[in-house]
Amino acid sequence: MTWADSVPNLLIGLREGLEAGLVVTILLAAVRKLAAAREEQGGESAVSTSPIWLGVLGAITLAGAFAAILTFSVSVLTSAGQEAVGGLLSVLAVFLVTGMIFWMRRTAATLSAHLRGEVARAAAIGAGALTLTAFLSVGREGLETTLFLWTAAKASGQTVGPLVGAAIGIAAAVVLCWLLYRRAVHLNVGVFFNRTAIALIVIAAGVLAYGLGDLQDAGWLPGHTWIAFDLTAHIDPGSWWASIITGITELSPKMTVLQVTAWLVYLVVVIPAFLSAGRATKPSQAAAPATPAPATPASATPAPATPGTAGAAPAAPKEPVGPRELPRWERIVGGRPWLVAGALVAVPAVAAGVTIATLPAAATTAASTVTVSRTNCAPEWSSAKAGTQTITVTNNSGLAGEVNLDNAAGAVVGELETIGPGTSASLTATLGNGTYTFRCLMGSHAATLSQPVTVSAGTETVGTGPVAVKPVTVNDLTPPNKLYQGYAAAQLTDLAKAVTALNADLKHNNVAQAKKDWLTAQLDWERVGASYDSFGDLGLAVDGLPDGLADGVNDKGFTGLHRLEYGLWHGQPAKELLPVAATLQQNVAAVQKNLTSDDLTGDPTQLPLRAHEIIEDALRDHLSAVDDQGAGAAYAMTYADTQVDKVALNDLATLLNERAPGLVATANSQLATLDQALLATKANGQWQSLTAVSLDQRQHVNAAIGALLETLSSVPTLLEVPPSH
C-alpha cells in the first residue's frame, strides 16, 4: 500500500463524510429542538431520535449494496468490458461530484433551515416518515461517495490504500460531526467546503482523464495510440515523488492527447465557474441573518398534533395540517418506523444479493490471484485450467517492475509491462497444452521465477487469445539494425549533396532554385527515418523547430532545415540565410560521422520503435501542420516517411513474421493505400499544401494513416527486448 494513494480518498471520505454527517447532525438537532418546543407547549412526549438512526442504517445498507453490485458485476466482464464500464462510471462519478460541489456552494448557508423544515413535516406525519427523511437525505450522499471512491480506487490501481484513506477520512468526519453536535468545536462549513472543493476538482479531473483512457482502451473512443507524452522510460513509478503526484492527481506517466485535453479543459472550465459561483452567492448571503425564520416551522407545525391544548388553538388555522390531508403512502409509513427501516435495510441487501447471484459466470475465464515480493514470484501459482485466464497480480515488493507469464519455450503469453509498488493489475492470457511459469523483474533485482504449472487442455476449446510471443534479444535485432544503418547512410549522403546544392543556390541568390533544393534536402532527411529526435541534439540542429525558444523563429537556437524553410518562404535575403546553410552542412556531416554511435541509431532495440514512430511522427507533426514553416510540404514529407517505413518493416520482417504472421503483409498493403492517397493530393505533378486539397482528399489520407498506425502499434511490443536482470 502506498500512502500517496490514500491522500485523495482521505479527502473524499472526509468531505463526503462530513457532508452526510452534517445532514445527520442537523436532523438530530432539529428533532431535539422540536421536542423542546412540544414540551414548552404542553406536549405529552418528546420526539425520539431512533427513526433518524434507522434511516441512516438504511442509507448505509444502500451504499454497501451499490458497492457490492459494482464490484461483482464488473468482475465477470471481459477485460474490454471492465475497461468500458469502469470508464463510463468514472465519467459519471465526475459529473455527480462536480454537481455536488456546485450544489454545496449554493446551499451550504441554507441547508440547516431546509432540513429543519423537512424534520418538522416528517414529525407531524409520524416516526416512519422521519426515518424515510433521514434515509433520503443521507442515501444520496452515500451513493455519490461510493461511486467516486470506487472509481478513484480503480484509477489508483489498488484497493487497500484508497479504502484505508477513505476510512480515515470518514472516521475523522464522524468525530468532527459529533464534536459539532456537542458544541465542543465550531466550524465554518461554507469555508471548509469551498476550500476543499478546489482539491476535489483536481482529483475529479484526474479521474475523468483515467476514465476516458479506459474508454479508449476498450475501443469506445478513438485515439488510444495518439500519445501526448510517455515518461515511463524516464520516471520510476515507485519513486516517492512520482507516487505523490500520481496518487494525489490520479495522473499517469503516459497519457493520450484526449486524456490531457480533457484534464485541462475540465480544470479550465470548472475552477473559474466554481469561483464565479461563489462571487454570485455573496450578495444573497448578506441577508443570511434573517434566515433563522425557516426554523420556526419546527415549533409551529406541531400545534395541530396536540388538539387537546387550548393554548395551541389560535395558531392552528394558519397551518392546517391533519391526517385527512396526507397522501395515502404517508399515512401508511407515518406510524411504522420499524417497518419502514426494515424495508430500507432489507430491500437493498436482497436486491444486491439477487443481482449478484444472477450475474452470468465467466465460463471461459478462470480468475486467480498471485503476489510478488522481492524474493518470491507468484508463490500461489500452483494450478491452472485451459482457456482464457484473468490473473490478478499484487505487487508487494515495494518496487516497480515487470511481470510475465512464459510458456516452456520462453515465449510470453501474458505481460504486465509496468506494475507499481503496492498496486494490483490484471494479466490476461490464453492457455493451451503446455507448461507455464511466471517471471518477475522488480526494480534492479535479479529475475525470480514461480514454480512451473502444466496445463492439459485435452480436446476442449481453449479460445482465441493473445499469441505467445517469443522474446527477442539484442543479437536478434543487430542484423536488421545494420541493414537500416546502411540505408540511412545512403540517405545522409544524398542529404549532404542536396545541402551543398542549396548553399550554392543561396550564394548565387537563386531563391526559386533554393526552394526546390530545400524540399529535396528535407525529403532526404525524412527518408533517414529520424523520428522522435532519435538523433539527439544533432537531429534538433538539423531539423529542429522554434517551439520553446525564447525568441521563436528569431532565436539563435533555431537552426537547420526548418530555419531555412522559414527564411525562404518569408522573403528573407539569401545572404542572411547563408550562415544557416553553412551550419547545416556541418551538422549533417556530424550526423554522418556519428551514425553508428550508441546515442544515435546504434541501439538495435530502437529500430522496432522507429517502425511505428516514423508514421506517428508524420501524423503528429506533418499532417497537423505543426512543423510547417511556410513550404506547405506536409504531404510530400509524409510520403517520404512511408518510404523509409517500408525499409524498416522489411528489415524486421523475419522477426515479425515469426511472432505475428500476416502483420508485415497487412502493413505493406496499408502503406500502399496511404501512398495512393498521398499521391492523389498532387496537382500537375506538384505537391500541394494541406489547405490546397479537397476535404475528401484530406479524409482519405487521414483514414489511411489511422489504419496503418493501428497495425504498426503492436510492432514495438512484439519485438521488445525484456530486461536482462
Full domain range(s) for residue 648: 474-718
Contacts of 419 by beta carbon, 8 Å cutoff, 6+ apart: 372, 393, 395, 400, 401, 402, 403, 425
3-state secondary structure 359-379: CCCCCCEEEEEEEECCCCECC
Same domain, 346 and 393: no
Grid cell in block for residue 315: 395558531
Averaged over successive runs of 10 residues, the pLDDT of the chain (725 residues) comes to: 60 77 76 68 61 82 82 64 74 81 69 61 59 75 77 63 78 84 68 77 85 81 80 60 64 83 92 79 46 36 36 41 45 58 75 72 56 89 84 84 85 80 80 89 85 73 50 89 90 94 95 95 90 74 89 91 95 94 93 70 81 90 91 95 95 90 92 95 93 92 91 87 65
Of 170, 140, 192, which Cα lies nearest the Cα of 6?
170
Q: Is residue 196 part of a domain?
A: no
**Residue 681 phi/psi, 5° resolution?**
-85, -10
Look at residue 718 and give its three-state secondary structure. Answer: helix
Integer CA distances (angstroms), 187 to 112, 173, 179, 191, 627, in order: 14, 12, 10, 9, 55
pLDDT digits (tens, 9 = 90+) for 425-438: 888 888 888 889 99
Task: Supply the pLDDT for residue 216.
Answer: 83
Task: Supply the pLDDT for residue 308.
Answer: 36
Same domain, 149 and 35: yes
Grid cell in block for residue 614: 516514423
- Rg of the chain on CA atoms, in Å: 34
Q: Is residue 212 part of a domain?
A: no
pLDDT digits (tens, 9 = 90+) for 39-54: 666 654 455 777 778 8
Task: Supply the pLDDT for residue 533.
Answer: 61
Q: Is residue 696 part of a domain?
A: yes
Strand 365-372 and strand 387-395: pairing?
A: parallel
Grid cell in block for residue 160: 487497500
Same domain, 345 and 388: no
Same domain, 557 and 664: yes
Q: How many CA atoms lie within 13 A of 567 on its CB side?
A: 23
Same domain, 397 and 523: no
Same domain, 549 and 480: yes
Beta bridge partners of 579: none
Same domain, 488 and 451: no
Q: Is residue 108 part of a domain?
A: yes
Give CA 659 to chain center in angstroms.
30
| Sole residue written with cell 524540399 | 519
Q: Per-residue b/e over 490-510, b at no fewer than 16 CB within 10 Å?
A: ebbebbbebbebbbebbeeee
Task: Supply the pLDDT for residue 77.
Answer: 61
Q: How many domains does the chain have?
A: 3
For the entire predicted model, the pTM comes to 0.48
Same domain, 312 and 407: no
Task: Supply the pLDDT for residue 638.
Answer: 96
CATH number at residue 638: 1.20.1420.20
CATH number at residue 382: 2.60.40.420
Q: Is residue 468 part of a domain?
A: no
Task: Supply the pLDDT for residue 519.
Answer: 96
Same domain, 436 and 489: no
355, 373, 408 - which closes a domain: 355
Strand 434-442 and strand 448-449: pairing?
A: antiparallel
Same domain, 402 and 344: no
355, 386, 411 - which closes a domain: 355
455, 490, 512 - which closes a domain: 455
Same domain, 407 and 316: no
Same domain, 414 and 293: no
Q: Is residue 252 part of a domain?
A: no
Q: E strand or H helix at 227, and its extent? A: strand 227-230
**Nearest-angstrom CA–CA distance, 660 and 653:** 10
Q: Per-residue b/e over 614-647, b at no fewer than 16 CB within 10 Å?
A: bbbbbbbbbbeeebbbebbbbbbbbbbbbbbbbb
Sheet order of strands, 424-431 included: 365-372, 387-395, 424-431
Of 671, 691, 667, 668, which Cα lies nearest the Cα of 681?
691
Q: Is residue 259 part of a domain?
A: no
Q: Is residue 48 part of a domain?
A: yes
345 burial level (CB within 10 Å; 0-12, 13-18, 19+): buried
Task: Supply the pLDDT for residue 534.
Answer: 67
Grid cell in block for residue 573: 535575403
Of 34, 55, 187, 57, which Cα lies nearest the Cα of 117?
34
